C-alpha cells in the first residue's frame, strides 16, 4: 500500500515537472526597441494546461540571446511575466504598477506571478522562442512589421504564432487575457491628462466601455501615494455605458505641492490592466521652472536662437527629460541628470555661436540634445516636463523682429502675456525689460551698427526698425558728434511699427565723413530712444 502510494506520488511529480506538449505558451512581449519607448523588456507566458508546469531547464530566446529559467512552477491556466528590470526608474513596477516600489500592494498587481531575470531586448522585427528541457520549441511568438515601440506584441486567436500590437492606450496587458480576446466586462481608462489650473490640479479622464456587455454604475477613484500608503483624493461616479460608449470626466482639486505620485482607478472587471492609470498630481508650486525669454529671430552674428528658463523657487530642478516643443517638433533639453541650481538658465541652438556673441553671460548655458528651429512668422513654444505635462507655453502670431526677443516681466507668472524686450538682442541671463502694451515707449534697433557707404553693395546702408505698442507721432533725427542735425528721417509722423533706411548721406545728399553718429527717436508724450551708428571706410 505504501509502495503504491510512493509510486503514485513520484508519477505525479514527473507529470507535473515535465512540460506538457502545449502547456506553456508565449502570449505577449514588450521591448523598448527604439527612441520614445518606455519601460523594461518583459515576456508573458501562459500555462494553457490543467497541470503544473515547471520551467526549470527551459530556456527563452529573446533578441537572439538564450536565457535559462530558474526553478519556477506555474499553476494551471495562469500567467507568469518575466522582466529584466523589476523596480526603480523605468522599471516594470513603475510602468505597469503604481510606482510605489512594491509589487502586490494593489489589487491589479495580484493577478499573476512576476520574476526578474536577465532577458535580452527584442528588436523591431523579431521573435520570442520558448525551448523546453529537451531543446525543442515549445512556443513561438513572432512579428514581422515595425510599428509603435510603446505597444506590446500580443498573440491573437486568429493569427497563430504571428503577433499583433496591443491597441489599448495602456500599451499592453501583462498577466491577463490579451486585448485581442473580447471580454464581457471591460471598462477602460483610455487617457488621462494633467494640467495646472488656477493653482489647482485638473485632470481630464477619457473612459470607454471596451467590453461586449453594458457596464454597471461604478466609480473613478483618485488616490495619492503618501509614504507606503494611498489616500483617496477624489471619487467620481461613472454611469452605465453601452458597449463602445465613452465618457469624459474633468475634475479639479486643490494641491499645494509641486508634484505627488497618484493613481486613477476604476473598479476591477474582466481586464484589469486598463482599469488604472498612474500620473503625477501638480499643485500651486507647479511648474518648478518656466519660460522667461525667447529669441526666435536672431540677427546675423547674434548667437542663434535661444530660450531662457527661470526657476520659480529656491529648490534645484533636475532638467532630465524636460523638453521644448513648437507646433511640429520636440527638442529634449537633457537626456541625463542635469541640475539647475541657478535662478536662470539658457538653452542655445548653437552653444559655440551663443558664447561667441554673449561672452559675458554668467548663468548656465545648455547645449540641448536636439533643437526645433522656431518659426519667425509665428509659433507656439511649449515647455513640457518629464511626465508629459505642459508646464508653460508662449504663443506669438506676429512676425518676429530680427534681433528682438519676447520676454516676461521678472515677477510674471506662467499665465501672463508676453511683450517685446526693450533691449535689442534681448537680456539673456539678466532681468527682463519689456515693452508693455499700454506704455508710450518704443524700441529702436539699427542693423548693421557700422556702415561703409561706398557703393560696393556691402553695408552701404543701415536699417532702423521702430516698434511701439501704441500709434504715436514720431521724429527720427541723426546728429553728428558736435550735436548738429545732419539728417531728419521722420518728422512728427504717425508710426507704430516700421523700417527706415539711411544711406549715410546728409540732408543735402552729401556723403558724411567717418565717425560716430547719434540717432534719436522722439515720441509724442516725451519718450525717446538713442542709438549710435558708425560710418567707416
State the CATH number of the domain containing residue 427.
2.60.40.1260
Whether 363 and 410 share a structural domain: yes
Q: Is residue 520 part of a domain?
A: yes
Whether 76 contacts 113, CB under 8 Å: no
What percent of the chain has a predicted confidence (pLDDT) above 90? 39
Name the residue among 38, 37, 170 with its Cα closest to residue 91.
38
Average model confidence (pLDDT) across the chain:
84
For 34-63, the pLDDT digits (tens) are 544 557 899 999 999 989 999 999 999 988
Residue with cell 515720441: 523
Q: In the chain, how many H helices and how many E strands? A: 3, 38
The separation between CA 392 and the C-alpha centre of its own chain, rounded to angstroms, equals 12
Whether 161 contacts 144, CB under 8 Å: no
The separation between CA 314 and the C-alpha centre of its own chain, rounded to angstroms, equals 24
Q: Is residue 303 part of a domain?
A: yes
> Which CATH number characterizes residue 231's domain?
2.60.40.10
Torsion over CA: 298, 301, 302, 306 (sign): positive
Evaluate if residue 140 carries a pLDDT over 80. yes
User: Which pTM was predicted?
Assistant: 0.65
Cell of 263: 493613481
pLDDT of residue 412: 64
Whether 128 and 207 share a structural domain: no
At 69 the three-state DSSP class reads coil
Instruction: Give the start-end residues of each E strand in 385-514.
Output: 390-396, 406-407, 419-421, 434-435, 442-447, 450-451, 462-479, 485-502
Whether 380 and 300 share a structural domain: yes
For 236-261, the pLDDT digits (tens) are 999 999 999 999 999 998 887 888 88
Evaluate if residue 280 carries a pLDDT over 60. yes
pLDDT of residue 147: 65
Write out 281-308 in H/E/C secondary structure.
EECCCCCCEEEEEEECCCCCCCCCCEEE
pLDDT of residue 38: 58
> Which CATH number characterizes residue 476's domain?
2.60.40.4070
Q: How many CB atoms lie within 10 A of CB 395?
A: 12
Give every CB contact of residue 265 below 8 A, 6+ residues apart in sequence. 220, 221, 222, 223, 275, 276
What is the pLDDT confidence band of residue 196, given thresholds at 50, 70 and 90? confident
Decide the pairing of beta strands 450-451 and 528-535.
parallel
Whether 227 and 246 share a structural domain: yes
Give every CB contact of residue 247 below 8 A, 6+ residues apart in sequence. 206, 207, 208, 238, 239, 241
pLDDT of residue 448: 85
Exposed / middle / buried, residue 384 (Cβ in 10 Å: 0-12, 13-18, 19+): buried
Q: Please tell me the least confidently modeled range out of 88-102, 121-135, 429-443.
A: 429-443
Q: Is residue 105 part of a domain?
A: yes
Q: Please tell me the least confidently modeled range out of 12-26, 42-56, 121-135, 263-277.
A: 12-26
Evaluate if residue 182 carries a pLDDT over 90. no
Q: Which of 267, 282, 297 is the last residue of a domain?
A: 282
For 489-534, the pLDDT digits (tens) are 988 888 755 778 999 999 999 999 999 898 988 887 777 888 888 9
| Domains: count for the chain | 4
Whether 132 and 195 share a structural domain: no
pLDDT of residue 506: 93
Residue 13 gets the label, from left (phi > 0), alpha (psi -120 to 50) or beta, of: alpha
Whether 293 and 339 share a structural domain: yes
Whether 413 and 306 share a structural domain: yes
Q: Which of 282, 309, 332 is the last residue of a domain?
A: 282
For 453-475, the pLDDT digits (tens) are 888 888 889 988 887 766 678 89
Q: Is residue 172 part of a domain?
A: no
What is the pLDDT confidence band of residue 32, given thresholds at 50, 70 and 90? confident
Whether 266 and 342 share a structural domain: no
Whether 468 and 364 share a structural domain: no
Residue with cell 536565457: 67
Residue 261 sits in which domain range? Answer: 187-282
Evaluate if residue 288 carries a pLDDT over 90. yes
Evaluate if residue 365 carries a pLDDT over 50. yes
Evaluate if residue 205 carries a pLDDT over 90. yes
Evaluate if residue 72 carries a pLDDT over 80. yes
The Cα angle at residue 174 between residues 172 and 177, in degrees rounded to 5: 90
Exposed / middle / buried, residue 305 (Cβ in 10 Å: 0-12, 13-18, 19+): buried
Q: Which of 282, 310, 329 is the last residue of a domain?
A: 282
Q: Is residue 87 part of a domain?
A: yes
Q: Is residue 4 part of a domain?
A: no
Whether 143 and 83 share a structural domain: yes
Whether 19 contacts 51, CB under 8 Å: no
For 310-360, the pLDDT digits (tens) are 998 888 999 999 999 987 888 899 988 999 999 999 999 999 999 999 988
pLDDT of residue 137: 94
Q: Is residue 178 part of a domain?
A: no
- CA dihedral of 452, 453, 455, 460, whole degrees rounded to 10: 80
Q: Is residue 9 part of a domain?
A: no
At 340 the three-state DSSP class reads strand
Amino acid at each position: 500500500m505504501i509502495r503504491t502510494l510512493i509510486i503514485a506520488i513520484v508519477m505525479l511529480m514527473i507529470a507535473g515537472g515535465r512540460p506538457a506538449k502545449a502547456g506553456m505558451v508565449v502570449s505577449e512581449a514588450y521591448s523598448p526597441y527604439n527612441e520614445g519607448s518606455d519601460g523594461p523588456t518583459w515576456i508573458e507566458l501562459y500555462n494553457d494546461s490543467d497541470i503544473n508546469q515547471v520551467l526549470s531547464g527551459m530556456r527563452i530566446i529573446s533578441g537572439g540571446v538564450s536565457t535559462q529559467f530558474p526553478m519556477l512552477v506555474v499553476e494551471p491556466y495562469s500567467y507568469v511575466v518575466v522582466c529584466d528590470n523589476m523596480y526603480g526608474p523605468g522599471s516594470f513596477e513603475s510602468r505597469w504598477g503604481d510606482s510605489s516600489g512594491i509589487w502586490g500592494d494593489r489589487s491589479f498587481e495580484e493577478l499573476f506571478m512576476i520574476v526578474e531575470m536577465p532577458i535580452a531586448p527584442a528588436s523591431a522585427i523579431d521573435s520570442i522562442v520558448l525551448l523546453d528541457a529537451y531543446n525543442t520549441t515549445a512556443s513561438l511568438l513572432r512579428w514581422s512589421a515595425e510599428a509603435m515601440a510603446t505597444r506590446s506584441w500580443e498573440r491573437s486567436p486568429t493569427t497563430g504564432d504571428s503577433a499583433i500590437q496591443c491597441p489599448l492606450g495602456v500599451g499592453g496587458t501583462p498577466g491577463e487575457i490579451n486585448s485581442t480576446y473580447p471580454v464581457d466586462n471591460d471598462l477602460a481608462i483610455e487617457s488621462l491628462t494633467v494640467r495646472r489650473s488656477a493653482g489647482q490640479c485638473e485632470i481630464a479622464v477619457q473612459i470607454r466601455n471596451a467590453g461586449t456587455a453594458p457596464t454597471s454604475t461604478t466609480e473613478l477613484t483618485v488616490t495619492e501615494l503618501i509614504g507606503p500608503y494611498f489616500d483617496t483624493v477624489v471619487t467620481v461616479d461613472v454611469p452605465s455605458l453601452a458597449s463602445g460608449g465613452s465618457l469624459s470626466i474633468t475634475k479639479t482639486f486643490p494641491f499645494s505641492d509641486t508634484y505627488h505620485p497618484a493613481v486613477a482607478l476604476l473598479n476591477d472587471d474582466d481586464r484589469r490592466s486598463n482599469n488604472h492609470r498612474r500620473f503625477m498630481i501638480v499643485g500651486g508650486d507647479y511648474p518648478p521652472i518656466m519660460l522667461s525669454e525667447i529669441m526666435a529671430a536672431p540677427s546675423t552674428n547674434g548667437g542663434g536662437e535661444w530660450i531662457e528658463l527661470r526657476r520659480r523657487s529656491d529648490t534645484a530642478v533636475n532638467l532630465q527629460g524636460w523638453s521644448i516643443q513648437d507646433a511640429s517638433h520636440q527638442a529634449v533639453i537633457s537626456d541625463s541628470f542635469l541640475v539647475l541650481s541657478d535662478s536662470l538658465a539658457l538653452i542655445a541652438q548653437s552653444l559655440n555661436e551663443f558664447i561667441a556673441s554673449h561672452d559675458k553671460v554668467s548663468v548656465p548655458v545648455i547645449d540641448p540634445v536636439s533643437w526645433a528651429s522656431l518659426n519667425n512668422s509665428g509659433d507656439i513654444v511649449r515647455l513640457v516636463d518629464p511626465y508629459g505635462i505642459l508646464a508653460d507655453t508662449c504663443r506669438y502670431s506676429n512676425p518676429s523682429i530680427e534681433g528682438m526677443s519676447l520676454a516676461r516681466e521678472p515677477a510674471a507668472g506662467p499665465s501672463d502675456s508676453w511683450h517685446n524686450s526693450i533691449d535689442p538682442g534681448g537680456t539673456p541671463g539678466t532681468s527682463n525689460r519689456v515693452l508693455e502694451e499700454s506704455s508710450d515707449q518704443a524700441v529702436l534697433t539699427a542693423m548693421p551698427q557700422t556702415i561703409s557707404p561706398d557703393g560696393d553693395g556691402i553695408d552701404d546702408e543701415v536699417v532702423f526698425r521702430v516698434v511701439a505698442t501704441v500709434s504715436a507721432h514720431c521724429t527720427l533725427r541723426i546728429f553728428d558728434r558736435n550735436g548738429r542735425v545732419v539728417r531728419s528721417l521722420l518728422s512728427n509722423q504717425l508710426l507704430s511699427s516700421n523700417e527706415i533706411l539711411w544711406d549715410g548721406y546728409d540732408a543735402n545728399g552729401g556723403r558724411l565723413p567717418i565717425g560716430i553718429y547719434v540717432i534719436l527717436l522722439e515720441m509724442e508724450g516725451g519718450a525717446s530712444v538713442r542709438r549710435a551708428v558708425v560710418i567707416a571706410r
